[in-house]
Amino acid sequence: MKVALIQMNSQADKAANIAQAEALVAEAAAEGPDLVVLPEYWSALCDRREEFHASAEDLSGDRPGGDAYGAMREMARRHRITLHGGSIVERAGNAHYNTTVVFGPDGAEIARYRKIHLFDVDVPGGVRFRESETIAPGGEVVTYDCKGHRVGCAICYDIRFPELFRALRDRGAELIVLPAAFTLMTGKDHWEVLARARAIETQTHFLAVGQYGTHAGGRKACWGHSMVVDPWGHVIAQVGDHVGWTVARIDHDYTRKVRTALPVHDHHVM
């Protein structure tokens, strides 16, 4: 199984972001991946609540979504890939969610995950961020199948809550995908450490896919460093400090060897 991670520098311009994603996915698809992953808020990485809500798409009904949903569906179908659509803002009635949508190679939606843990922080003398003022939390643990293997869903701040990843492992996840827009401040110290920890404790291949660079007129910045971590905690592929993509082969035999040699999943007592 081959995976591709797309690292973007999304802004508030939805049409420009969609064009950027289409170009990067087309480049990566030429390498023949089975699964391609976009970052969090790939279609619109905004600064204000009103901008996020203006980018939202209604995913209900017989004809769900708008421009971003349609673009993801078409990219999956055109390139015959499973597309893990990072996340977009979903409008559901009066609520808005940070939502991953996954499409199969035929363009049909196969999974949908709403981010559970919301990033609310107040750093004394520093940044204040309240995702809960813009986004409602989800509550469902979500997996799907790709090429006969189970894939688990998480988004960004979820990475700090190991109980979610244990739940994904309990549901049979062999890969876990985490699209993100990790901040520069926390990313430089925590991004790789947390991604490797989640891979080691779940004994899965962990795909951490980030936004990179500045947005909001240069006032905010994302860390990037999208990476694939193997079940032993080794980084086997990574995008550098730029917009771009990387590919990696997932060795499922290696996953089985790790789980056999160190069967921690069988030793849980709580």
* Residues β-bridged to residue 6: 245
In whole angstroms, give the CA distance from residue 255 to residue 52. Answer: 38
Q: pLDDT tens-digit profile of 53-79? A: 999 999 999 889 999 999 999 999 999
Q: Which fold has domain 2-267?
A: Nitrilase/N-carbamoyl-D-aminoacid amidohydrolase (3.60.110)
Q: Mind telling me the catalytic residues?
A: 40, 115, 156
Q: pLDDT tens-digit profile of 195-237? A: 999 999 999 999 999 999 999 898 899 999 999 999 999 999 9
Q: How many helices (H) and strands (E) does the chain have?
A: 7, 18
Residue-level pLDDT at 126? 66
Residues with Cβ within 8 Å of residue 6, at least 6 apart in sequence: 21, 24, 25, 28, 36, 37, 38, 39, 42, 86, 209, 226, 245
What residues in the chain have per-residue pLDDT under 70? 123, 125-127
Three-class SS state of 270: coil
Residue-level pLDDT at 129? 80
Dihedral sign (CA 71, 106, 85, 96): positive
Residue-level pLDDT at 123? 66
Three-class SS state of 214: strand
Both tokens of 171, joined, read: 């549901």
Q: What is the pTM of this model?
A: 0.96
Residue-level pLDDT at 221? 94
For the chain, first and last CA: distance in Å? 33
